[in-house]
Amino acid sequence: MALLITKDCICCDICVPECPNEAITLGRKICEIDVNKCTECVGHYEEPQCKQVCPMDCIVNNPDCVETPEQLMEKFLRVTSGK
């Protein structure tokens, strides 16, 4: 399941450099997560790094993008094969 940044985001951008897949970008009012790149850090870390550093605790599971661990690993392989 990709992650989602809620409207509680203060756009501090502390999460942007923490994302190993470069899935997080600064939006107009909040940071945004590209669901096509977000693997919840599967393949890189045990836990999502953005959630670890977020001072507002506003990063949640995206209910519109439910994925199994296997699907997240497949996405990781796809995303990182171009790097």
* pLDDT, tens only, 46-83: 999 999 999 999 999 999 999 999 999 999 999 999 75
What are the beta bridge partners of residue 24? Answer: 33
Task: From residue 18, give the alpha-carbon distance in Å to each of 51, 70, 76.
Answer: 10, 23, 16
- Confidence class of residue 20 from pLDDT cuts 50, 70 and 90? very high
Residue 24: pLDDT above 60? yes
Average pLDDT over residues 3-19: 97
Can you read off the two tokens belonging to residue 73?
A: 């690993």
Across the chain, the runs of DSSP E, i.e. the strands, are 3-5, 24-26, 31-33, 59-61
Domain formed by 3-80, architecture: 2-Layer Sandwich (3.30)
Confidence of residue 1 (pLDDT cuts 50, 70, 90): confident
Q: What is the pTM of this model?
A: 0.91
CB neighbours of 51 closer than 8 A, spacing ≥ 6?
3, 57, 59
pLDDT of residue 83: 57
